[in-house]
Amino acid sequence: MNDYLVKAVAYQNQIRAYAVNSTATVAEAQRRHAAKPTATDALGRSMTAGVILGAMLKGEEKVSVKINGGGPLGTIMVDSNAKGEVRGYVSHPQTEMEINEVGKAVGMNGLLTVSKDVGLMHPFVGQIPLISGEIGEDYTSYLSKSEQTASAVGVDVLVNSDSTVKAAGGFIIQLMPGADEEVLNIIKDRMKVIAPLSSMISEGSTPEQLLEHVLGSENVTVLESMPVRFQCQCSVDRITNAIISLGSEEIQDMIETDGHAEANCHFCNEFYYFDTEHLQALKEVAL
């Protein structure tokens, strides 16, 4: 089944809610980075929350989320947009932990930084210190403190023993401006008694079912759904333009020194190779 995200309202429009099944998206990231289970879990959680942040945007707007908690995984980067496209990487995807401990692998001595490109000259940047490195709690803290929107974020990834992804998904629930704070307390109380998110996700719940589970089926109105997928923004054209922009002297230097040029995209691990003949052709069009 293809991944998708739903946008909903609940409790007489006092709550705005999003949920996503990101299983195939996280599986693609795991394959591309050959990530071990803990790295897949951490990256997948941030991609799941990140794709929802992207779905809150409009048109050509984009969002990047950087998490660095000083733990063995290094930096986790996620880019997303309003079209449901998300990509991401973790500095050390081969990191293996004794148990599947995301918080310890991410670390909590660092920051979660969100950068939103909404078409203005400078991006909007918000930053918070990490709470636990468990990702969901850290996104909750970011939305509540930096965007001043009382929120609850739940994200989870289940990894098979052969490192492939069994299931991934999550939700973000937000109190609309002017809403009754009591509504948030009702939801918090519900969350204490309902089955954990991981069991919902492992059972393959749809995004609609996730929201009904958390908010109560009688309270949720789904407004729209949209596909989500792993999609990098790199391409042969982009790399070609980057090489051309170096100028003919620099390209000649590459031809003489290495006889070729190569580039590796951090986000999708795609490898680009340009041989001498190709570089000669690019040199002709460069300034």
DSSP notation for 154-209:
EEEEEE-TTS-EEEEEEEEEEEPTT--HHHHHHHHHHHHHSPPHHHHHHTT--HHH
Cβ 235 to Zn ion shortest distance, Å: 8
Residue 234 within binding range of Zn ion, rule CB under 5 A: yes
What phi, psi does 127 have (nearest 5°)?
A: -145, 140
185/235 with CB nearer Zn ion: 235
Interactions with Zn ion, residue window 102-131 (CB under 5 A): none
Q: Please state the closest distance from residue 266 (CB atom) to Zn ion, in A.
A: 7
Say how far apart CA 57 and CA 260 lie, in whole Å.
Answer: 40
Do 28 and 230 form a contact (C-beta atoms < 8 A)?
Answer: yes
Choice from 19, 232, 239, 282 touching Zn ion (CB under 5 A):
232
Nearer to Zn ion, 30 or 141 (CB): 30
The region of 43-51, 88-96, 181-189, 232-240 touching Zn ion under the rule CB under 5 A is 232-240
Q: Quote the tokens at residue 264.
A: 């590796």
CB of 51 to Zn ion, least distance (A): 16
Rg (C-alpha) for the chain, rounded Å, is 21
The answer to whether 77 contacts Zn ion (rule: CB under 5 A) is no
Inter-axis angle of helices 181-193 and 207-215, nearest 10? 110
Segment near Zn ion (CB under 5 A); pick from 28-36, 223-231, 234-242, 274-282 = 234-242
Q: Which stretch binds Zn ion (CB under 5 A): 5-13, 41-49, 218-226, 233-241?
A: 233-241
- Of 156, 144, 151, 46, nearest in space to 90 by CA: 46
- The CA-based angle 59-210-9, given to 5 degrees, is 50
For residues 260-279, which are near Zn ion according to CB under 5 A? 265, 267-268, 270
Contact letters (x/-) for Zn ion, 187-226, by CB under 5 A?
Answer: ----------------------------------------
For the chain, the residue count is 287
For residue 99, the SS3 value is: coil
Query: Interface residues with Zn ion (CB under 5 A)?
Result: 232, 234, 265, 267-268, 270
